[in-house]
Structure 1
Amino acid sequence: MDRKEIYSRVDHTLLGQDATWGQIKEICDDAMAYGTASVCIPPSYVKRAKEYMGDRMAVCTVIGFPNGYNTTAVKVFETKDAIANGADEIDMVINIGDLKDKAYDRIKEEITQLKAACGSHILKVIIETCLLTDEEKVKMCEIVTQAGADFIKTSTGFSKAGATFADIRLFSGHIGEGVRMKAAGGIKSFEDAEEFINLGAERLGTSRIVKLAKAERGSADGQKEADTGSY
C-alpha cells in the first residue's frame, strides 16, 4: 500500500497530559508535511492550532476524555466550545458505566445531542473496546448507527489496550450504512496500519506512523551524507 494512502488515514495524535504547545506545534508541522487526515489534540490547544494551520490541516479534539463519565451537559458544552475554537472533528467518549448498566437509551441520547452540537462537523464515538464484551461492542455499533454519528472508534489509548484487528472485523459486520471505523491505540508499524485499513478502518489514531516515517527519513538522510562525505 502506498505510504501516502496510509498517511491520509492517520489522525496524528498527541493527547498526553504533559503536552506542551511546542510539541503540539511540532505535530501540526508533521501532519502538514506528511498529509495526514488531521491532528488530534487536547481541547486547550485547538484555537492556537487552528490559528497556526488555518485550512491547511483539520483539527480534531477529544470530549469527555479519557473516561467518558462527564455529564451530557458538560460534553455538549465542551463540543460547542471546541467547534467555536476551530475544531473540525470531535472524538467523544461514551459513559461506559451506562453501557454496563444497559442504559442504551441514555447513551443514544447523549450521542444524538453531541451530533446535534457538531452540526456538519465529524463526530467519532469512542467506546473503549478493551473494557467491553463482544456483545457490548455489537450493541454500540447499533447505537452509534441509530444516533447518527459518523464514526465508531475503538479506544482512547489511555486504558488497558488499544485497537485490535478482531474489533475492526467485528465492527465491520455490525455498523450501519454511513458509519465509518477508526482504530486507535497500539498501532506500532506500517504493517499494522495497512492491515487495519484493509479490514475497513477509515481512520487510524496514532502518533507512531509519522514518527516512523521521520525516523526512516532521518536514517536515509544520514546514509546519504555518509555516502557523499558531507556532514
Structure 2
Amino acid sequence: MGPISNGEPAGPGVGDDPEAARRFVKLGATGLTSVSPAAQPGSIPGDLARYIDHTLLKPQSTEEQVRKLCAEALEFNFRSVCVNPTWVKLAAELLRGSDVLTCTVVGFPLGATEPEIKAFEARRAIRNGAREIDMVLNIGALKSGNDALVLRDIQAVVEDCVDGNAVCKVILETALLTDDEKRRASELARRARAHFVKTSTGFSTGGATVSDVALMADVVRGAGMEVKASGGISSYSDAKAMIEAGATRLGASASIGIVREAKSTSISA
C-alpha cells in the first residue's frame, strides 16, 4: 500500500520561479522548533524529512490510515504528523518517545469561529498531546478590515499554545487574499507573537506559491518567525522552490515521494 494522500486540492502556482532566493527565517518566538536554518540562504537541507509535516486532513480519514501515517512518519523521521483533532490522542500515543511531533488544526478549514472557541480547541488538543497547532485566522474579519478582531483571534490561540509549550502556526489562506491582505495578516500574526505563518489549508481554491512564501517571509523574518508552505507541494522541485523562497516547514501528503525524489536527485548528482 503506497503513501497516503490527504485528498487536498493541488492548487496552482507551485512551479513558478522566485525572483530571488529568500533568506531563511530563524527559530520561532519561543524557540520551540528544532529545525535549524540552512547554512546559506535558500539552500536545501540535507535531511529534508525534518522540514515536512506529514499530513492527513481529509474528513474521511480512518483509524487505519492515521496509524499508517504515523508509521510512515516514524520510518522517515518527518518533523510531525498533522491530523484532525479527533486523531490527536491516538497519534500522540503512537509517536510517544520519538522525535516526530503531533500537529493538529484549529478553526479548520474556514477560520470562521470565535476566538474563544479556537482557544478551547487548542487547549483540548494540547491536553491530548498536540505539540503544534495550525490555526486558520478569521478570513472574513481580515477582508472586512477588522484587524482588531483578527489580532484577538490569533492571540487567543497563541496564549494557550505558549501556556502549553506548543507551537502556533497561523494559516492565512493566501488564495483568497490580495497581496496587501497577505501582508496585513502576516503582520498581525507577528504582532500576536505566533511562531509561524502558513500559506494554505489545502481545502480552498489554491495552494502555496513561491511568490506568497517570499512575501510572507519578508514580513515576518525580522521577528524570528518562520513560514510554512502547504497545499499542492507534490514533488521535490516544488519543495525546493518553497525552501528557496523562504519556507522552513512544508505541509504535504506526498511526503514520502518528495523525500525519495530528493535522495535520488542527490545520488544522481
How far apart are the structure 1 equivalents of 2:258 and 2:122?
Answer: 32
2:244 is aligned with 1:198:
yes
Question: Partners of 1:54 and 1:123 in 2: how far apart?
Answer: 20
Give SS of 1:18's match: coil
How far 1:87 moved relative to its partner?
Answer: 0.2
- Aligned ranges 1:1-231 → 2 under 5 Å: 5-56=47-98, 57-119=100-162, 120-175=165-220, 176-213=222-259
Determine the C-alpha separation between the residues in 2 that align with 1:39 and 1:64.
18
State which structure, 1 or 2, has the greater radius of gyration over its C-alpha atoms.
Answer: 1
- Among all aligned residue pairs of Structure 1 and Structure 2, give the percentage whose two residues are the same amino acid: 41
Take 2:172 and 2:44, find their aligned partners in 1: how far apart are those partners? 30
Q: Does the 8 A contact of 2:213 with 2:245 survive in 1?
A: yes
Q: 1:200 to 1:214 in 2, by over 3 A?
A: closer
In the alignment, the residues of structure 1 paired with residue 71 and residue 94 of structure 2 have an alpha-carbon distance, to the nearest angstrom, of: 10
CA contact (8 A) 2:55 2:253 kept: yes
What SS does structure 1 have at the residue aligned with 2:227?
Answer: strand
The TM-score, its normalising length taken from structure 1, stands at 0.89
Mapped partners of 2:123, 2:83: distance in 1: 16
Instruction: State whether residues 49 and 259 of structure 2, in contact with CA within 8 Å, keep that contact through their aligned partners in structure 1.
Output: no
- Distance (Å, rounded) in 2 between the aligned partners of 1:83 and 1:44: 12
Gap change, CA 1:123 and 1:204, over 3 Å in 2: same
Aligned length: 217
Q: Which moves more between the two structures, 197-206 or 2-11?
A: 2-11
Contact 2:211–2:245 (CA under 8 A) maintained in structure 1: no
Quick one: which amino acid aligns to residue 175 of structure 2? C
Shift of 1:55: 2.9
Gaps of at least 5 residues in structure 1 are 218-231
Deviations 1:60-88 (A, max 9, x none): 00000000001111111100000000000
Give yes or no for contact 2:114–2:153 (8 Å, CA) kept in 1.
no
- Aligned-pair RMSD on alpha carbons? 1.8
Amino acid at match of 1:150: H
